[in-house]
């Protein structure tokens, strides 16, 4: 059994009252660039959505730590720019790899994104996944002893079992989970060997949040088929299981709207855009922005571009497509294959259609600072955001806030964002000819989305990522928990 104690960084807390206390739990440290003498830190990914709410409340942030962050925080060094506690929980490398590279990203990730053929099934990975979840729960339980009124907010698929372990440890706090990836249909979910254990654990939460109503419906159906406990009638959002009520609801995640709008207006961003546009002489620019992941459909997108240039020779030399693919999960073998496949396709397209003065596809395989990313949004005539499956896809929303009025967004109908952004040009990312036709259509009809874009921008102003977090925590606060003394205790998973 692993033993670890909470290691709280030594900083002042902005205490705004017990009713506001919050414990956030995630796989990764919310800040990077942690080193002695650093004057600033970096905040990115899903953690940027939660940073502000952690700053506003008496927050403690528990996370699965890498060695560098663990040693830095344990040393008691100040972390500039934050006023909440950081609690790293460290694991042996073998355990972490099986939990993260194994069960989380070689089974849950591909399966929940509808890629069962990419799943690796390992009983040992499952055991280590349970170990990490249980140890995280023990650390939370220690903190909760001093914070009995604190809300506990678990993030994502790495930590689905935590609430079950917390209940077994006698923790009576309200506990919420937000799943940042899709929840698949019952026919896909049933493939998971530990499907029963995972669902039972998720039903220990008081509130489970999903991006879309479709994911809520998928979860309800899996519960009905696999757990067999009483569900409230369709159209309501409560599941009764073993004397406990779990509320399920859709909370479509948003972006930091004002931050993006400010960057969009910044002089430095416009200078970056001008410099980029001067380097690309072609009249039309297309853009793709993704992590380098098989779920993002980059290869299918490149096939569509290949077909577009084949069918529309008049656009050869006139359209440059920029594909930004940020490296991801390099320790998972499947991702090296994707990188090689994409690079080969880019080389083939450039070799077939390009010449000394023009490259059809510019491939950028590195992280891009967000301000520069906004400048890419500003110069694009269209963005091709066509994941094969995506929980939401925030790039689509970021593009709408930054693009020029005549630019268009081509969006996969299989992204969660498609439910949140009606009226755009939707494509089936497996339909190569449809994507090629849509590229031609948006180039030849500039401004076709201008009216609907204005509507979506107003919507994003009213519902940004901070409102998303407030909505979730507000609903969690309002839930009346069942009496823990009457709750049956299940056997350990």
DSSP string across 339-384: HHHHHHHHHHHHHHH-BTTB-SEEEE-S---HHHHHHHHHH-SEEE
For residue 12, the model assigns a pLDDT of 31
For residue 71, the model assigns a pLDDT of 72
Handedness of CA 157, 162, 167, 173 (dihedral sign): negative
Same CATH topology for 18-254+468-486 and 257-462: the answer is yes
Q: What share of the chain in percent tops pLDDT 70?
A: 86
Q: Which position has the higher pLDDT, 79 or 250?
A: 250
For residue 72, the model assigns a pLDDT of 72
Cβ burial of 48 (10 Å; 0-12, 13-18, 19+) is middle
pLDDT at residue 150 greater than cutoff 50: yes
For residue 233, the model assigns a pLDDT of 56
Mean pLDDT lowest among 69-83, 96-110, 316-330, 427-441: 69-83
Mean pLDDT lowest among 58-72, 413-427, 439-453: 58-72
Stretch 297-306: mean pLDDT, rounded?
98
Stretch 381-410: mean pLDDT, rounded?
97
Q: Which position has the higher pLDDT, 28 or 109?
A: 109
Question: What does pTM read for this prediction?
Answer: 0.90
pLDDT at residue 144 greater than cutoff 70: yes
Q: What share of the chain in percent tops pLDDT 90?
A: 76
Handedness of CA 478, 479, 480, 485 (dihedral sign): negative
Question: What does the angle CA 162 – CA 65 – CA 38 come to, to the nearest 5 degrees?
Answer: 140
Q: How many CB atoms lie within 10 A of CB 274?
A: 13
Going by pLDDT thresholds of 50, 70 and 90, the confidence category of residue 487 is very low
Mean pLDDT lowest among 37-46, 98-107, 189-198, 412-421: 37-46
For residue 18, the model assigns a pLDDT of 42
Q: Right CATH number for 257-462 from 3.40.50.9100, 3.40.50.300, 3.40.50.1100, 3.40.50.2000?
A: 3.40.50.2000
Going by pLDDT thresholds of 50, 70 and 90, the confidence category of residue 164 is very high
Going by pLDDT thresholds of 50, 70 and 90, the confidence category of residue 16 is very low
Q: How many CB atoms lie within 10 A of CB 380?
A: 25
For residue 141, the model assigns a pLDDT of 98
484 to each of 84, 189, 225, how far by Cα in Å? 29, 30, 26
pLDDT at residue 35 greater than cutoff 70: no
Distance, in Å, from the CA atom of 203 to the CA atom of 185, rounded to the nearest integer, reads 17
8 and 87 in contact (C-beta within 8 Å)? yes
Distance, in Å, from the CA atom of 236 to the CA atom of 242, rounded to the nearest integer, reads 19
For residue 286, the model assigns a pLDDT of 98
What ranges make up the beta strands (E) of 135-293?
A: 151-155, 175-178, 207-210, 238-241, 244-250, 284-291
Distance, in Å, from the CA atom of 165 to the CA atom of 349, rounded to the nearest integer, reads 52
Going by pLDDT thresholds of 50, 70 and 90, the confidence category of residue 75 is low
Q: Which position has the higher pLDDT, 18 or 453?
A: 453
For residue 3, the model assigns a pLDDT of 30
Among the listed residues 7, 1, 56, 51, the one whose alpha carbon sits nearest the alpha carbon of residue 26: 51
427 pairs with which residues across the strands? Answer: 412
Among the listed residues 122, 89, 75, the one whose alpha carbon sits nearest the alpha carbon of residue 103: 122
Mean pLDDT lowest among 62-76, 90-104, 163-177: 62-76
Q: Phi, psi (5° rounding) for residue 479?
A: -70, 130
Strands 22-26 and 59-64: parallel
| 257-265 helix and 450-462 helix, angle to the nearest 10 degrees | 120
pLDDT at residue 160 greater than cutoff 70: yes
Distance, in Å, from the CA atom of 235 to the CA atom of 248, rounded to the nearest integer, reads 11
Stretch 261-288: mean pLDDT, rounded?
97
What are the pLDDT digits (tens) for 42-70?
555 567 668 888 888 879 999 998 666 67
**Domain extents for the chain?**
18-254+468-486, 257-462
Q: How many CB atoms lie within 10 A of CB 352?
A: 12
Q: Return all residues near 287 (Cβ < 8 A) that are at least 6 apart.
A: 321, 322, 323, 324, 376, 377, 380, 382, 383, 384, 399
DSSP string across 32-82: B---TT-S--B--TTHHHHHHHHHHTTEEEEEEPPHHHHHHHHTT---TT-
What are the pLDDT digits (tens) for 263-276?
999 999 999 999 99
Distance, in Å, from the CA atom of 116 to the CA atom of 162, rounded to the nearest integer, reads 25
What are the pLDDT digits (tens) for 453-463?
999 999 999 99
Question: What does the angle CA 243 – CA 247 – CA 252 come to, to the nearest 5 degrees?
Answer: 165
Q: Compute the mean pLDDT over every residue in the chain, rounded to the nearest whole number.
A: 88
Among the listed residues 19, 53, 16, the one whose alpha carbon sits nearest the alpha carbon of residue 147: 19
Q: Give the tokens for residue 150.
A: 């604190």
Map tokens 């409340």 to a residue.
Answer: 57
Distance, in Å, from the CA atom of 140 to the CA atom of 154, rounded to the nearest integer, reads 11
Distance, in Å, from the CA atom of 394 to the CA atom of 132, rounded to the nearest integer, reads 29
Q: Right CATH number for 18-254+468-486 from 3.40.50.300, 3.30.1330.60, 3.40.50.2000, 1.20.120.530?
A: 3.40.50.2000
Distance, in Å, from the CA atom of 390 to the CA atom of 388, rounded to the nearest integer, reads 7
Q: Give the tokens for residue 333.
A: 């073998």
Handedness of CA 19, 20, 23, 25 (dihedral sign): positive
What are the pLDDT digits (tens) for 206-250?
999 999 999 999 999 999 999 875 565 555 688 988 888 999 999
For residue 227, the model assigns a pLDDT of 87
463 to each of 51, 258, 458, how far by Cα in Å? 17, 11, 9
Q: Phi, psi (5° rounding) for residue 175?
A: -125, 130
30 and 88 in contact (C-beta within 8 Å)? no
pLDDT at residue 84 greater than cutoff 60: yes
Q: Give the tokens for residue 341.
A: 């496949």
Distance, in Å, from the CA atom of 153 to the CA atom of 55, rounded to the nearest integer, reads 15
For residue 79, the model assigns a pLDDT of 75
Stretch 329-348: mean pLDDT, rounded?
86
């Amino acid at each position: 059994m692993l033993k670890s104690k909470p290691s709280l960084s030594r900083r002042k807390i902005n205490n705004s009252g017990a009713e506001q206390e919050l414990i956030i739990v995630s796989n990764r440290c919310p800040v990077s660039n942690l080193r002695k003498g650093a004057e600033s830190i970096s905040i990115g990914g899903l953690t940027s959505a939660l940073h502000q709410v952690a700053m506003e409340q008496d927050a403690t942030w528990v996370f699965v730590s890498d060695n560098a962050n663990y040693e830095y925080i344990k040393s008691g060094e100040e972390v500039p720019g934050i006023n909440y506690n950081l609690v790293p929980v460290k694991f042996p490398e073998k355990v972490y790899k099986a939990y993260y590279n194994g069960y989380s990203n070689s089974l849950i990730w591909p399966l929940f994104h509808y890629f069962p053929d990419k799943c690796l099934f390992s009983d040992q990975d499952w055991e280590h996944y349970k170990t990490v979840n249980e140890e995280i729960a023990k650390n939370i339980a220690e903190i909760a002893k001093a914070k009995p009124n604190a809300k506990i907010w678990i993030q994502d698929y790495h930590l689905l079992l935590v609430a079950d372990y917390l209940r077994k440890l006698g923790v009576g706090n309200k506990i919420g989970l937000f799943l940042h990836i899709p929840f698949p249909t019952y026919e896909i979910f049933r493939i998971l060997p530990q499907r029963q254990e995972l669902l039972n654990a998720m039903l220990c939460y008081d509130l489970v949040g999903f991006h879309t109503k479709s994911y809520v419906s998928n979860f309800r159906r899996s519960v009905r088929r696999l757990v067999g406990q009483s569900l409230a009638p369709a159209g309501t959002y409560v599941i009764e299981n073993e004397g406990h009520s779990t509320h399920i609801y859709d909370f479509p995640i948003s972006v930091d709207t004002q931050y993006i709008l400010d960057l969009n207006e910044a002089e430095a961003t416009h200078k970056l855009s001008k410099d980029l546009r001067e380097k690309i002489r072609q009249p039309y620019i297309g853009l793709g922005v993704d992590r380098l992941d098989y779920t993002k459909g980059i290869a299918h997108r490149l096939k569509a571009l290949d077909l577009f240039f084949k069918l529309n020779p008049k656009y050869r030399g006139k359209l440059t497509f920029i594909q930004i693919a940020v490296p991801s999960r390099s320790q998972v073998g499947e991702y090296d294959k994707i990188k090689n496949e994409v690079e080969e396709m880019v080389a083939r397209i450039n070799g077939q259609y390009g010449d000394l003065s023009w490259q059809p596809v510019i491939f950028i395989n590195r992280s891009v600072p967000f301000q520069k990313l906004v400048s890419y949004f500003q110069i694009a005539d269209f963005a091709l955001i066509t994941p094969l499956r995506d929980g939401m896809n925030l790039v689509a929303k970021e593009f709408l806030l930054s693009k020029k009025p005549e630019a268009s967004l081509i969006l996969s109908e299989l992204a969660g964002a498609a439910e949140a952004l009606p009226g755009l040009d939707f494509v089936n990312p497996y339909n190569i000819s449809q994507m090629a036709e849509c590229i031609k259509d948006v180039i030849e009809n500039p401004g076709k989305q201008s009216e609907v874009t204005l509507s979506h921008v107003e919507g994003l102003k009213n519902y940004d990522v901070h409102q998303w977090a407030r909505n979730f925590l507000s609903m969690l606060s309002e839930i009346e928990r069942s009496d823990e003394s009457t709750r049956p205790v299940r056997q350990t998973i």
